[in-house]
């Protein structure tokens, strides 16, 4: 390899490196300012932690399943003949209250049917440790890529994306309880 070729490679790497530094998006706090778009906002789906949830009722058009937590064990209260494992309910709750935040896809949509939220696929009524802590979450359709589920807290205007497994666990709970669902 000649010195001329080595010099050309160095020059080319300097030019490409300079181009990269100049053309890359600037992060928050630089002179260019914030680069986040409104569609990249995130929020927590539920205002309380997983361990603060004491009871939940998962409802569909065809029935409801109510479970109560004692310590770390979930017991299905109704229907009485339900064969739903405690770990299944725990996984469902963990996916609703995951530490990661849910991505907001619409701040205040006028047509909830577009997200499968009017009517919802399922509704989850969650009770916290205190009797006045009650939240209702609507579970909707899959997003276009099929990788996430639309959800909305009844008291909040935003529609968010949550993990696909939320609906999968809901289906398994309905199945184990003998509550028919699509």
Q: What is the mean pLDDT of residues 64-80?
A: 94
The answer to whether residue 35 is domain-embedded is no
Q: Is the pTM of the predicted complex or chain greater than 0.85? A: no
Give the CATH number, domain containing residue 74. Answer: 2.60.40
Closest alpha carbon to 82 in 15, 178, 3: 178
The answer to whether residue 18 is domain-embedded is no
Q: Is the pLDDT of residue 80 over 70?
A: yes
Q: Which segment of 10-19, 62-71, 108-117, 128-137 scores lowest on mean pLDDT? A: 10-19
For position 49, what pLDDT does the model report?
83
The answer to whether residue 75 is domain-embedded is yes
The answer to whether residue 1 is domain-embedded is no
Q: Cα(23)–Cα(179) distance, rounded to whole angstroms?
A: 56
The answer to whether residue 85 is domain-embedded is yes
Express each pLDDT in 59-71 by its tens digit. Answer: 999 999 999 999 9
Q: Is the pLDDT of residue 156 over 80?
A: yes
For position 35, what pLDDT does the model report?
34
Sign of CA dihedral 49, 54, 58, 59: negative
Q: How many domains does the chain have?
A: 1
For position 29, what pLDDT does the model report?
40
Residue 79: how many other CB atoms lie within 10 Å = 14
The answer to whether residue 9 is domain-embedded is no
Domain of 147 in residue numbering reads as 41-177
The answer to whether residue 72 is domain-embedded is yes
Burial 37-64 (b: 16+ CB within 10 A, else e): eeeeeeebbbeeeeeebbebbbbbeeeb
The answer to whether residue 36 is domain-embedded is no
Express each pLDDT in 134-152 by its tens digit. Answer: 999 999 999 999 899 999 9
């Amino acid at each position: 390899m000649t010195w001329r070729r080595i010099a050309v490679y160095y020059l080319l790497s300097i030019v490409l490196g300079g181009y990269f530094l100049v053309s890359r998006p600037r992060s928050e706090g630089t002179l260019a300012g914030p680069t986040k778009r409104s569609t990249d906002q995130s929020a927590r789906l539920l205002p309380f932690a997983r361990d603060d949830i004491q009871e939940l009722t998962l409802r569909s058009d065809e029935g409801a399943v109510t479970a109560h937590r004692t310590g770390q064990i979930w017991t299905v209260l109704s229907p009485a003949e339900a064969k739903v494992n405690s770990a299944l309910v725990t996984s469902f709750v963990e996916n609703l209250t995951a530490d990661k935040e849910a991505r907001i896809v619409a701040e205040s949509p006028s047509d909830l049917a577009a997200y499968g939220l009017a009517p919802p696929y399922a509704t989850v009524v969650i009770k916290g440790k205190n009797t006045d802590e009650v939240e209702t979450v609507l579970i909707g359709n899959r997003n276009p890529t099929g990788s996430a589920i639309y959800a909305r807290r009844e008291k909040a205007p935003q529609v968010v994306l949550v993990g696909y497994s939320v609906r999968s666990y809901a289906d398994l709970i309905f199945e184990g309880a003998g509550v028919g669902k699509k």
